[in-house]
Each structure stands twice: as structure tokens, then as C-alpha cells.
Amino acid sequence: MSFAQTGPPTPPDPDSNDTENALFDNDPVPEFGSVTFAPSPMTDTEVTGNNTISTSISDDGEVISALVLYGTIAGNLTESFALSNSSGTTWKADLPVLENGIYYYQIKATDNSQQEVVSTEASFDITAGTPIAPEDLQATTIDYNRFTLEWQASYQATSYYLIISTEADYTNPIVNEDIGNVTSYEATSVQFSTTYYYQLKAIRQMEDNSVMESEISSGEVTTLDQPAPEVTISTESLPDFGDVVSGENSATSSYTVTAQYLRDNLIITPPTGFEVSTDETNWQGNASPLSLAGTDGELSTTIYVRFAPDTPGVASGDITHETTEIPETVLVSLSGTALETEPTNHVSDFRLAGQKGNTFTLQWDENSGEEAAEGYLLLFSQTSPQLPADGDSPVEDTDFSDDEAMIIIDKDTTAAEVYIPGNETRWYTQIIPYRGSDETINIKTDGTIPEITLITPLDDLPNAWINEFHYDDGDTEEGRVEVVLENADNYALEDFNIIHYNGNGGTIIDEMTLNNFSSSSIEGSFSIYELDFGELQKGEDGLALTYQHKVVLFISYEDPVTATEGDAAGLTSIHIAPEEDNDTPTNFSIQLTGSGSYYEDFTWQDPAESSFGAVNAGQTLTASPNLETTWLGAQDNDWNNAANWNNGIPDGTMKGIIPAGVDYYPVLTTAVNPKTLVLESDASLGGQQYLPESCILYAKRALTAEKWLFLTPPVKDNTAAMFEPVYGMVYLITYDNTQPADESVWSYVSDQTLPLSPMTGYGFYSTREELELVFNGSRISGLQSVPLHFEDAGNNFNFVGNPGLGAIDWSTSNQANTTGTAYMFDPNAKTYLTIASDGTVTDPEFNDMIPPIQGFFVEATNDGNYSVNLDDCVPTDQYFLKQGVPEDYIVRLKVTGSNGEDFALIRFDQTNRDELDFNEDSRKLVYYDIGVPQLWFSHEGEKLAINQARTYPESFPLGLYISDASELSITGEVSNSFSGGITISLENTITGETLDLRSRDTLRYDAVSGENNNSLVLHLKNGTGLDEFTNETVRIYSSGQILHVTTSQLLNGKLEVFNFIGQKITEYSINHTNHARLQPGTGIYLVRWTDDEQAVVQKVSLR
């Protein structure tokens, strides 16, 4: 079967090389001409130079590339290299370095139409031989420190060997090495103006590692003459290195130095006291300069500089940069100050050693260590002392008016007396040692700088001053003095005394009271008094103005004066500069001028025409502002109630005064801000934690001459020096309970700088009547503690104190680590007042409140701490607290001797134990003194000031002590709680005499010296009253925040709740129940139950 053709046949595929059938042939392939080799012939010929291949390639277009394909096997041409068109149809190339043998080759050409053609394969022979010597060897780029050699490549060379030397015979070459297959070489590190000889040969490394060398090509070259060395620096001066301590190093500074054309090393020399380095590790000084070598005469590096002085002083100079043939030395200027070495240590025990008015005596122990101080700076500031800078010569500043001052103290000095003017200001005072002088001074400001706080006296003196005086007018020495006094109607003029002190010895020459004035005048609120003072002698003399024997002002003329007697004894005067002489006219005087209200506001002037009895010329007196306000306490205890103050609520500019004897004392509940607060003797307040730290507190304590006062400081940072202003003999004692409990444990304090520790008790005694002690400082608050000393069978009485501004309510206070009994010394009765843990007190004239500043004893039960939270202290209001003392079942006995008296009591309560229990019973703290009897209950071998018992009828033996045999008087007091059916009597077992204690009669008792034990017995005999005591008593007690009132019968009456200020908090009517539970709120209260038959008062604490 056949099929018919269904379409045209496929056309033919033309062959691009089919020129026969082409219609036009306009793209012919390239055609090769002859091929030549040079040198020729190639076969069996030693190749002594470069070989080239050259061929002619023609095309009607443009030949764009040509390759030589070659190999050692015919028909297997695996290697190639390119030909380059040299001109027209000529294409050339250097043959590569070939080994011996026959090589087959073809030439492949390509035109611009991408037509390629390959020539017929042919061959050539190579015989390998020695490379030809380098051609065209010459020196180029010649300079003073370098030159370059260049040459033509040698055929078949694999490297070149070069020798360069300054010697024609090539000895001592500087280059002598194979330099590789290169056609140039730069010679460096060559000398200027020097001829160098060089030779070069080509090297061929054969396959068998043999070497073939060409002939030598050689030449010579002379380097150029070198330019003069050039040294440049990045700066001509470095910043001043400032203050550096001798023997230490400063921080590093730096600059850059660049040099060229160096013929030798660059020598860099610092001035004395400075060092240089290139790496900040290796430092060179003036004696061993830095020497830097350049590279090819060039150098660029960073130079580090530091100040490293050995001796104090100002240092300056130049770093020099020098080298051979440098035209001029290059300089970098330096400067710095070398300080003296810093003192090794601060002083130790910087302290206030005494204060008389505005004159403070400061003491310290010299600093120790390798570098001793060469002087000290005393810095004073009302904020924070401004520390002086090292290197700044300190300038003494004794002007305290700008709230800053500085006093310079010589070395080998350990004390200074400083007068700080003004009142009621706090001065933070530092002492800093220094070494050196002027710009080399080095002040020790690191470490802990010793600091104390000085407080100027309370401003309770009149605003008065000496305003004018005259003492020298030629032949006579007629003295006249003028005194200015503000609000004179408030004072008795005879209380003011003007004392003339002799500058030679400080003794009194004369004195006169102000009421002896010869004339006066009034200027606003000021009175001006003139006094004719007889003679005021020439030379250094002093004038003191005092009020009630307190110094108001002490000045002197011509020189300072230290008083040795009278009101100003021990004080050094304020020396004023103006003086009078024989030429001073009679009607001239030394006067104060200026405008103000106080002495400090005015300035003494040279003698001018006098104005005695009137305001001085150039002087304006302005009334002083009333910046104090006194608590009245007439309405309530609210500090922020303006009606409680006579001049408004005190703010940060005012002084608040809290007097004693007001109806209500302040209780602070929020922060307040008085500038100063004065707590008069026997005054108190609550909430002292709300007083600011910045407030200066002055707490006063009235004194009684020749009686011991037990106290503790209520402020921070007081020392025994505070007692210095007291007249007469002053004694201060501390208690050491590591000794037996008698007078031998007391130690007299002789160190006036002894710090007084709040919470520690001290005994104070003065032989001369004083108005009061004044503690000043910052208030204390929060929990305060003092360690207790305890030993088994030892003396465990510890002398502590109340540093609060309010009273410690003993029965509700923290009694941990003690027996719960407090002992306060009564200086009038010369005995210890004993307060039991429940608030029972031996002396009915006292209550269980331990007042502010009071020192007292506790007996330790272990070696823990006695602690008081001062935030819980309450104001003391004696009349209310006496009224609020519960009418417990108490028998109190009083014994009176020739020189004192004492108390002991027994108290009955259903909650007590009959057995000895020091958590209830109070041990007797015996006071040993001539003529002072001591009384106690004898119970289980112990002496008890307070015997807490549960059961009666019973008999209770007593003992007593007296230093000398004498007759004693014993009386008793029985509380009304006892039923009339109870017989209470005191029996003298020696005489058989019995005293009915309800009769308030006196039992006379002939005591022998020493202890009289068991010769007295207290009897309570039962009648009909025991059941009433045990069954019908209303019990008031607390449990947590619940107030309980219970009785065995139904309650029908009224319950009143009072706070300790005397305010009634609430009142309840309770009926038809025998147990009432109430919640008046947390706090400490006095609770009074009243019904038709009885009134019961109890203190409770709801927590």
C-alpha cells in the first residue's frame, strides 16, 4: 500500500562553509601567511636570548585575536599563549620558557565576524641553555636615602641575584641576595652622598634543581645630598598639669612628633620633674632622655608626658627635641605645681573641751603617721563646711557673719579657743591637717574628716551692748562708757554690771551696775545709758557687760584680755581695733556705727567726736523682730492650735518656748518646724519624733546646790564640757556596777571632753546655786537602748536614764531584761524612790512617771539591753497623775533620820504572789550616807523596798540601816481600800511598843549603827474586812484591745476613760452585768469606775 505526499519537501540546511553554492561570498575566513621564529633557525640551536614568534594574518575584515596552540605530542596541542598585533597583519609573541624538545603548534585566528581558522600543524625544536645577562640595567629615582634599579627581563630567567655595596670590590655589601623574578629593585636604608656599586645576573632553575647563571650586568650610582633634618610637633605647649603630690605621677598628656631627613637619633629631653614615653610604660626623665631612631631618616610617633615631681614647688620648662645638624631645637613647654605630700592621718579625738558662752575650747590629738601635719585648718559652717582646694593658699576668715569661717592653727598645737558670735546657731566644725605652704599646700580631704557640732548659747540674755567708750585723752584717763539696752522696762538695771578688767593679769579693777548711770535717753525701743567710770587706764584693758552674772559682751582695746576672776573668769575678750592715744581730744570716743538691732550689726570706728547718752553719728537703731513665741497651753495639747501660743505657732524662723506649770503640755502628732525649741525645767512634751533634726533644742534642768542630781542628756553630742559655765565646784560621777553595790562603784569624771551618752545615767553636783543646766543639740527619737551588765550573784544595778522630752510611763513601759523596778534618787530625802512594775511608788509625793532628763537605776536579770521607745514618752502633769493613782491596798512606812528619810511599802492584790518574785517585788537599793536611814521589808533573805503580797492577815518583818546609832521617827500611811475591820500596826519587837498606823502617830525607834534586822514587824490582823477585799472589789484590766470591768456582783455605775493629759476620752453607763467588755481604742488610759459605794481608778494599756 502506498500513500500520496501531502506537503512540500523540507528545504536543505546550508553549510556556512559552502562557498560554492553561496549567492554572495562576502565573509571569507582569515588567511595565514608565513610563520617565522627569531632567532632562527630554532632546531639544534642554543637559545641565548629571547625568542619571538611572528606570523602574518590577513582578512578582508578585521582579525581580533590569535592564539598559538602547542604541545609536545603531535595532534595533542594542550598549551596556548596569545599573539599580539604589532602592526598591519603582523602578530607576535615571546615564547614562554620551554624545556628541551620538539614542540608542535598551530595558529588559531578569529575575525570580527567570529570566523575562525586554524593553520596547518607544524613543529619547532628547543634546546635549553644559559639565560642572557639582564639588559638595560640602570639606576632611576635617585634620592638621598634611596634609589631604584631597573632592567629588561632575561629570557629563560627564573630569578635574579643582586649585590649592592659601597665598595668597588663588593666587599661588605648591603644587599647580597636572590631578589626573585622581578625587573626592578628599590634600595633603601642607604646613606646620602654615597656611591653604591651594584651587579645583577639572571638565574635559571632547571627541572633537576641545577642552576644556570647569565653573565653579570653592573653599574654604580651616587645618592643625593641629604636636606637638613626637619622636626615638627603637634603643639608647642601642653595644658598645665595642675596640682600633683610630690612623689606621685599626674595623668598623662600627649603630643605627636614627626621628623624627616634624620641623620642621627632624635633626642627628646623633658625638664626636671617631668617624664616622657612612647608607650606609657617605659618612662624617661631629664637625666635619661628618650632616644628615637628613624626609619630611612623619618619618624612619626606619639610622645606621652606626665608630671612626676620629687620636691614641692611650681615647675615649668620645655621638652627639647634635638638631633645632628638640626637648625634649631624644637620645644614643647610644660608646667605644673608639685604639692607637699599629704598628711598621713587625720587628727584623733577631735572634741569640745569646754564652752563658756560663745567661747568654745576645742581639743584634739595630733595626727600620727609618716607624714606629720604642718598645720591645721578649722572650718566652720552652718550647713556643710566648704573644703579648701589643694594648691590654694588658705586665707584665715574669722568673720562668722556669712555663715562660714576658717581659722589656721599652727602645727604642734592640740587646742584652740574660738569665739563664735550670735545665739541659737548650729556650727558644723571640721579640722583638717595640711602640709606645705602657698601653692604647694596639700590638705587632707580624703578619709573621714573629724567633725563636731557647736551650738551657740540660748538667746535668753537681754539685747544690750557697750556702744561707746573713752579711755585716753593725754594727761588724764577719764573713763566713760555707754550701754544700749532694748526694752529696758523688762529688766532691773541693778542686774547689769559693767566690769573693768586689767589686761595685766585679768583681774578686776572696777565694776559698776547700770542703775548708776549719769544720763540716759530713749531711741525707740532702746534706752541709752552713760556711765562715768572714773579712770580707764591706758594699755590693754577689758570691759565686760554682764546680766545676772552672765556675760553679755566682753571687749578689750589695744590687745586681747583673759579674765581671771568675776563674771567673765576664764573668758578671752573680743579685741577691737580702734585705739586712743595722748593726742585723742577729750571730747572724742570710740563708737559703733551702722544700722541694725544687735551688737553684731555695727562696726567700731576710730575715735571721733563723742555722743554719750545719745545715738552715735552714723548709727541707726531698729527694733529687733519678735521671733519667739511661748506655749500657753490653756486650751488643749494641740501644737497647731494658735490659741495655745502667745505669738503664733513657731515656724522655721522662730523660737518656741515650753514653760512649766501650764494646764496642758503639747503633744505632737504631725511634723512641726520651729527653728529653736526651749524646754524649760520641769516642762515636757509628747511626740518628740515630729520635731525636725534641724531644730536646735535647749532643754533646761533646774539645780539645787550641794545635792546630787541624777540625769542623762536629752540631746545628741553633749560632753562633760557643757557643765563648765556652772559656778563653784562641779562634780560629775559615773557608776560601775562591776563593783559591789555601795559607794565604791562611783567614779569621779575628770575628763571634760567625756561624751555624755543618752540612756546612760550620770550624777551631777555643784557647790554653788545655779539657775539651771542647759542641754543643747538635736532631739533624739525612736527606740533607744543601753547594754545592761549582769553577773550571777553580782551587783546587777545599772545606772540608766530617760533622754526623752516627755516622761516614761513606767508601768506600761518596756521592762524587759530587768526586775521591773525603777529606782529614782530623791536628793531631798537622800534616798531612792522605788517604783514597782505595776506603778506602785514608795513615796506618796511621787508617781510612776520618770520625768525627762532623769537618771535612774534598774536591776538586770540578764545581760541584754534596757530599751525605751522615746516616741511613747508622754507629758508629765503632776496634779492629774496624783489624782489618778489607783487606791490600792497599800501600807506605806516612812522613816526619818537626822539627814534624810526613806520609804518602804507593802501592796496587796489578788493577782500577786506571796512568794518572792522579782517580777513583782522590788529589791531595796540602799543609799549609804551619814544620818540617812534606809528601810526595807525582809522577805526570804532579801531586802525589799516594795513587797507585793496577796494574802493577809499576816505579819511582815522589816529591817533598817543607819550609819550611826540614833533615834529615828517612823510613821505609816494606810490606803482607804482596807476595810475598817482590818487592824494595821507596827511593832517594835525590842521594846514591845506598837503603833496603830491608822492613827497617824509616830513610833520612836532607837536604832543601833549598821543594820537593824527583824526588830520591826508590820501586822495586819483580820476583823471583818477580808471578804470585802477579796469578793467585792471591781477589777479593771486589759486584754489586747479589750477593756474588761468585772465584779462578783452586778455592776451598776459609771466608767470614765481619761488620757494622760487629763482629757476625758469617753464615758460608759454599765448596769445589770458582772463583766463588761469595752473598746475605747488603743492607747494608755486611766480608767475610773464610780458607783454608790466606791470609786476605783486603774491604769490600763490597750495595744
User: What region does 296 belong to: left with phi over 0, alpha with psi -120 to 50, or beta?
Assistant: left
pLDDT at 44: 28
- Whether omega before 953 lies within 30 degrees of 0, making that bond cis, reads yes
Q: Which of 617, 612, 620, 619 is nearest to 483 (CA)?
A: 612
The 3 state secondary structure assigned to 579-609 is CCCCCCCCCEEEEEEEEECCHHHCEEEEEEE
Q: How far apart are CA 821 and CA 860, in angstroms?
A: 10
What b/e readout covers 710-721, taking b as 16+ CB neighbours within 10 angstroms? Answer: bbbbbbbbbbbb
Q: What angle do CA 837, 984, 1017 make, to 5 degrees?
A: 75
pLDDT at 932: 92
* Strand pairing category for 755-756 and 994-996: unpaired
pTM assigned to the model: 0.63
Q: How far apart are CA 1082 and CA 1101, in angstroms?
A: 8
Q: How far apart are CA 712 and CA 720, in angstroms?
A: 11
- For the chain, what's the residue count? 1103
Helix (H, G, I), strand (E, B) or coil at 84: strand
Backbone angles phi, psi at 674, to 5 degrees: -75, 150
* Strand pairing category for 243-245 and 330-339: parallel
| Beta strands in 206-260, from DSSP E residues, in sequence order | 211-213, 217-222, 230-233, 243-245, 253-260
Q: How far apart are CA 374 and CA 314, in angstroms?
A: 19
**From the centroid of its chain, how far is CA 553?**
37
Helix (H, G, I), strand (E, B) or coil at 95: coil
How is residue 228 written as a grid cell?
637638613
pLDDT at 829: 80
Grid look-up 482596807 returns 978
Backbone angles phi, psi at 89, to 5 degrees: -95, 10
What b/e readout covers 520-532, taking b as 16+ CB neighbours within 10 angstroms? Answer: beeeebbbbbbbe
pLDDT at 769: 62
Grid look-up 522613816 returns 895
How is residue 579 written as a grid cell?
585705739
How is residue 232 written as a grid cell?
615638627
Q: What angle do CA 345, 347, 348 make, to 5 degrees?
A: 110
What b/e readout covers 951-984, taking b as 16+ CB neighbours within 10 angstroms? Answer: ebeeebbbbbbbbeebebebbbebbebbbeebbb
Helix (H, G, I), strand (E, B) or coil at 437: coil
pLDDT at 844: 82
Do 86 and 61 meet the contact criterion of CB atoms below 8 Å apart? no
CA 772 to each of CA 457, 702, 1089: distance values in angstroms, whole numbers, following the listed order: 13, 4, 42
**What residues contact 309, with CB distance under 8 A and at least 6 apart?**
244, 246, 247, 273, 315, 336, 338
Tell me the one-letter amino acid at 614. Answer: A
Helix (H, G, I), strand (E, B) or coil at 236: coil
* Strand pairing category for 655-658 and 676-679: parallel
Q: How far apart are CA 648 and CA 651, in angstroms?
A: 9
Grid look-up 602574518 returns 56
Q: How far apart are CA 613 and CA 626, in angstroms?
A: 26
Tell me the one-letter amino acid at 911. Answer: T
Grid look-up 557640732 returns 453
Tell me the one-letter amino acid at 832. Answer: Y
Q: How far apart are CA 841 and CA 851, in angstroms?
A: 14
Cβ neighbour number for residue 103 with a 10 Å cutoff: 20
Mean pLDDT per 10-residue segment, the chain (1103 residues): 40 53 50 56 36 83 90 93 90 78 89 87 78 90 92 88 96 95 93 94 84 92 91 96 93 96 93 97 96 90 97 95 91 95 92 87 87 93 88 89 92 92 92 92 92 90 94 72 94 93 92 90 94 83 91 93 89 90 88 94 94 94 91 94 95 93 93 95 93 93 82 91 74 86 81 92 81 87 94 89 94 94 87 90 86 94 95 71 49 93 88 82 88 93 90 88 93 84 88 87 91 90 42 70 80 79 75 80 79 76 72
Backbone angles phi, psi at 439, to 5 degrees: -75, -10
* Strand pairing category for 934-939 and 954-962: antiparallel
Q: How far apart are CA 149 and CA 165, in angstroms?
A: 14
The 3 state secondary structure assigned to 792-821 is CCCCCEEEEECCCCCEEEHHHCCCCCEEEE
pLDDT at 428: 94
Q: How far apart are CA 274 and CA 167, in angstroms?
A: 47
255 DSSP 8-state letter: E
pLDDT at 222: 96
The 3 state secondary structure assigned to 1019-1079 is EEECCCCHHHHHHCCCEEEEECCEEEEEEEEEEEEEEEEECCCCCEEEEEEEEEEEEEEEC
pLDDT at 1080: 83
Q: What angle do CA 635, 638, 642 make, to 5 degrees?
A: 70
Backbone angles phi, psi at 426, to 5 degrees: -105, 130
Q: How far apart are CA 1022 and CA 980, in angstroms?
A: 10
pLDDT at 469: 94
Do 377 and 431 meet the contact criterion of CB atoms below 8 Å apart? yes
Q: Across the strands, what pairs with 138?
A: 150
Q: How far apart are CA 346 and CA 371, in angstroms?
A: 11
Do 566 and 499 meet the contact criterion of CB atoms below 8 Å apart? yes
How is residue 355 written as a grid cell?
564652752
pLDDT at 978: 82
Q: How far apart are CA 773 and CA 709, in angstroms?
A: 11
Torsion angle defined by CA atoms of residues 974, 976, 979 and 985, in that order, rounded to the nearest 10 degrees: 10
pLDDT at 1063: 66
